[in-house]
Amino acid sequence: MTTISSMPLLRVEHLTMRFGGLVAVGDLSFDVARGQITALIGPNGAGKTTVFNCITGFYKPTEGRLTLNHDATHHYLLERLPDHDINWKARVARTFQNIRLFQGMTVLENLLVAQHNTLMRASGYSLLGLFNAKSYRDQADLALQKALHWLERIHLLDRADDAAGDLPYGDQRRLEIARAMCTDPLLLCLDEPAAGLNPKESLELNTLLTGIRDEGKTSLLLIEHDMSVVMTISDHVVVLDYGVKIADGTPDAVRNDPKVIAAYLGVDDDEVAEVEAEVGL
Amino acid sequence: MSTEMSAPSSPFPLVKSLKQAGFVGMVMFGLCVPIVAFRAEQNMNNQLVLQSRWWLTLVFCVLAMIGSFLFSLYTHQKSNKAHSSAPSTVTKALSALAPRLTPLGFACVIAYPLVMLAINGPGGSIKWIDNFGIQILIYVMLGWGLNIVVGLAGLLDLGYVAFYAVGAYAYALIATKVIPDTFPELGFWSFWICLPISGLLAALWGIILGFPVLRLRGDYLAIVTLAFGEIIRLVLINWVDFSNGYAGLTSIPRPSFFGIPFNASEEGFAAVFDLEFSPIYRTIFLYYVILALSLLTAFVTIRLRRLPIGRAWEALREDEIACRSLGINTTITKLTAFAIGAGFGGFAGCFFAARQGFISPESFVFLESAQILAIVVLGGMGSLFGVVVASIALVGGIEILRELDFLKQVFGEAFDPSQYRMLIFGFAMVLMMLWKPRGLIAHREPSIVYKEKKSIGSDMVQEGHG
């Protein structure tokens, strides 16, 4: 039996996802290490979001195994869990490429909805809550404190009572991350968190994400196109192209990998056959 | 003309509006010719003769033209106002009044039957308490129950009347068949025993309906719930052994004053409290029962909205996929909304059966579902106060048509305004949807406030996709 430290938090093995005849992800294996930021990059249409949807239960993979290791004895096979249990039991949270906040609810309400299961239990599945029992009030107070803590971290405390849909784009992105963090995840999956942010907001995001990593409770897996974010904050980079892994390593190693350069920039015609043979196409 | 100085107020397009009014009048005429202009009536020899009613057609056409002209005047004025997203004055007034109106409203509804009794006497006040008070309160309660499903959880339910029917038949069958055979000594208590049973049975049917249909969304969910409402009604019509079919169930026990019946006997309410016997006491009592049931519905809804389950309902209406990513079991959440909404429908049904003393499938047609849904939509999705206003307007408004005897002086003795209720109802709906497409109270109150309470405009709040 391996020890916890050597066991990755998430192990993706031979993940394949087919949509009819289209192989969106083909035989992909990689690890997400504990306490690190792992980036999943690749050109448009490489299958990154499909991998995310498989991990977070929105798709059931055609083949493969996704193991989330809480510790040496507690493992969850994500492909077998319904999507809400992936968040609640396996403790994997995610954000979306096109922001999915509860726009008509306030910023604070968004963060409280994220603590639904804990509060539901405390409210005795609404029965104790209906009679305003003290045990529920205490738990609700804790939930409020946690929400306010996260609002302070993303600098939105003074907008707690505004509708989430009224916030500027960058704030909505950070709020969605805070909402995911309110579910106390072990693995936080971020789908293009820096998309549409200006350089200053992008920098703020870097600080937020490295801060979450350095607290040591949550590891991160992110899809990103913004190379300045990827290369600055990630500890480990996995590169996908046409649903196949073409590189896996530290940011520096990946940056200089000829296959990655070929996938992003294209190659001269005479090199195509050579590179394709290497990639395995 | 300097554009900076003058506000961009365009002149009123008179010719265009008149043209449009003329066009509307022509459309109205075309519609009226087959519907209004001719009437087949039997003459003395039992023959059908065609009567023409051109004057009435003309009145309709002129009314439509005036309406069209006024509407273009209104939209012109509206577009000339500064383009502010601020809520309209009516919304502001209503929402500002709502909290102050609450204690006043309480006082009014509690005093209402007594005031009516004082004004009209025991004989004359039954109509006002029963047709107006009780009838409106039943619809307020049904509206509040459906509001949980449609307004909070965003699930479009077109078959809500099915749960109303389940509650009514549960009470009628248990009180007329089960209790006399098994516990005859409980006879006078049957309403109070059956009330929770009816609610629970309706909630159970809510869950039974919910399980197969909750994977459907939007229009598909609406159609299946519509079908469910019809299935329940058709079963009640055709399963004669069970429900006595079209003939319905009669002599359903009326509610007792906690064991004391409202009759003229020695043990009756009037005798016990040393009053002169009159049916008004039962009516007043029924009024307070439905008032208490409605307030219970409101209390539970207000509390649930501030609990995690209520927030999950609203989150579900906003974005179901995000809910799933946050660990919310959407199936269970939708089922609880369905079950709780159905449960209140069941309570109302039980009360309805007890008040009428007679029920038949005729009372549970689709039109009832449509009317309850109209109340919720007109009131503003998710707003309790809006539902009250809409119920008073729709139910009370239709009842008041029966009282407009003076119109007979104008239109002749044969004129019955209540015949026009569907027309007025339809017109009112169209006008409402033009004027306030998101209902009377078109903003959402947050369920929790950190520093300052800010209501959220309807442009932000989603309607739900089923």
| Contact status, residue A37 vs residue A210, Cβ threshold 8 Å | yes
User: Which residues of chain A lie closer than 8 angstroms to B451, CB-CB?
Assistant: 160-161
Q: In what order do the strands lie in the sheet with A10-19?
A: A22-32, A10-19, A63-69, A75-77
| Contact criterion met (CB < 8 Å) for A106 and B300 | no
Contacts of B249 (CB under 8 A, 6+ apart): B169, B172, B173, B176, B243, B353, B358, B359, B360
| Contact criterion met (CB < 8 Å) for A123 and B309 | yes
Contacts of B188 (CB under 8 A, 6+ apart): B253, B256, B259, B260, B261
User: Which residues of chain B lie closer than 8 angstroms to A119, CB-CB?
Assistant: 307-308
Interface of B with A (CB under 8 A): 300, 303-304, 307-309, 311-312, 314-315, 318-319, 321-330, 336, 444, 446-454, 456-457, 460-462
When mean pLDDT is compared across A140-144, A222-226, B88-92, the lowest value belongs to B88-92
pLDDT score recorded for residue B82: 45
| Contact criterion met (CB < 8 Å) for A130 and B309 | no
Distance, CA of B378 to CA of B386 (rounded, Å): 7
| Contact criterion met (CB < 8 Å) for A116 and B311 | yes
Distance, CA of B287 to CA of B269 (rounded, Å): 16
Long-range contact set of residues A246-250: C-beta below 8 Å, sequence gap at least 24 = A246/A42, A246/A279, A248/A30
Distance, CA of B426 to CA of B420 (rounded, Å): 10
User: Which residues of chain B lie closer than 8 angstroms to A161, CB-CB?
Assistant: 446, 449-454
| Contact criterion met (CB < 8 Å) for B307 and A113 | no
Each residue's pLDDT, cut to its tens digit, for chain B (466 residues) gives 343 444 445 677 788 888 888 898 888 888 888 877 887 878 788 888 888 888 888 888 888 888 888 888 888 777 766 444 445 566 666 666 666 777 888 888 888 888 888 888 777 888 888 888 999 999 999 999 999 999 999 898 999 999 999 999 999 999 888 887 887 777 778 888 899 999 999 999 999 988 888 778 778 888 989 999 999 999 999 999 888 889 889 888 888 887 787 877 777 777 778 777 778 888 889 999 999 999 999 999 999 998 999 999 999 999 999 999 999 999 899 999 999 999 999 999 999 999 998 999 999 999 899 999 989 988 887 788 889 989 998 888 888 887 777 777 777 777 777 778 788 888 888 888 888 888 888 788 888 888 888 888 777 787 776 5
Kindly report the nearest CA distance between residue A89 and chain B, in angstroms: 8
User: Which residues of chain B lie closer than 8 angstroms to A166, CB-CB?
Assistant: 460
User: Which of helix, strand or coil describes residue A76?
Assistant: strand
pLDDT score recorded for residue B164: 95
Q: What are A149-181's pLDDT values in tens digits?
A: 999 999 999 999 999 999 999 999 999 999 999
Residue of B nearest to A110 (CA): B315
Question: What is this structure's pTM?
Answer: 0.81
Kindly report the nearest CA distance between residue B431 and chain A, in angstroms: 26
Under DSSP, the state recorded for B131 is I
Kindly report the nearest CA distance between residue B153 and chain A, in angstroms: 13
pLDDT score recorded for residue B84: 43
pLDDT score recorded for residue B93: 66
Q: What are A11-49's pLDDT values in tens digits?
A: 999 999 999 888 899 899 999 999 899 999 988 888 899
Distance, CA of B298 to CA of B319 (rounded, Å): 25
Q: What are B270-281's pLDDT values in tens digits?
A: 777 877 777 888
User: Which residues of chain B lie closer than 8 angstroms to A183, CB-CB?
Assistant: 326-327
When scoring B304, B319, B325 by the number of chain A Cβ atoms within 10 A, the one with the most, hence best to mutate, is B325
The CA–CA distances, whole Å, from B284 to B133, B254, B259, B288 equal: 10, 13, 16, 6
The CA–CA distances, whole Å, from B446 to A57, A258, B218, B414 equal: 31, 54, 25, 52
Contacts of B453 (CB under 8 A, 6+ apart): A161, B445, B446
Which amino acid is present at A89?
K
Q: What are A178-191's pLDDT values in tens digits?
A: 999 999 999 999 99
| Contact status, residue B399 vs residue B131, Cβ threshold 8 Å | yes
| Contact criterion met (CB < 8 Å) for A100 and B460 | no
Kindly report the nearest CA distance between residue B88 and chain A, in angstroms: 19
Kindly report the nearest CA distance between residue A17 and chain B, in angstroms: 20
Residue positions counted in chain A: 281
A278 pLDDT band, cuts 50/70/90, is low
pLDDT score recorded for residue B91: 60
Residue of A nearest to B324 (CA): A84
Distance, CA of B310 to CA of B165 (rounded, Å): 26
**CATH-assigned architecture of domain A1-91+187-281:** 3-Layer(aba) Sandwich (3.40)
To the nearest whole number, what is the mean pLDDT of chain A? 87
| Contact criterion met (CB < 8 Å) for A101 and B300 | no
The CA–CA distances, whole Å, from A73 to A55, A76, A192, B290 equal: 20, 10, 33, 57
User: Which residues of chain A lie closer than 8 angstroms to B449, CB-CB?
Assistant: 161
User: Which of helix, strand or coil describes residue B300?
Assistant: helix
Please, what's the largest Cα pairwise distance for chain B? Answer: 89
| Contact status, residue B317 vs residue B160, Cβ threshold 8 Å | no
Considering only the beta carbons, identify the residue of B307, B324, B446 that sits closest to A109: B446
pLDDT score recorded for residue A268: 63
Q: Where are the domains of chain A?
A: 1-91+187-281, 102-183
User: Which residues of chain B lie closer than 8 angstroms to A105, CB-CB?
Assistant: 311, 314-315, 318, 444, 446-447, 456
The CA–CA distances, whole Å, from B190 to B196, B288, B290, B343, B357 equal: 11, 18, 16, 18, 13
Q: What is the ipTM of this complex?
A: 0.88
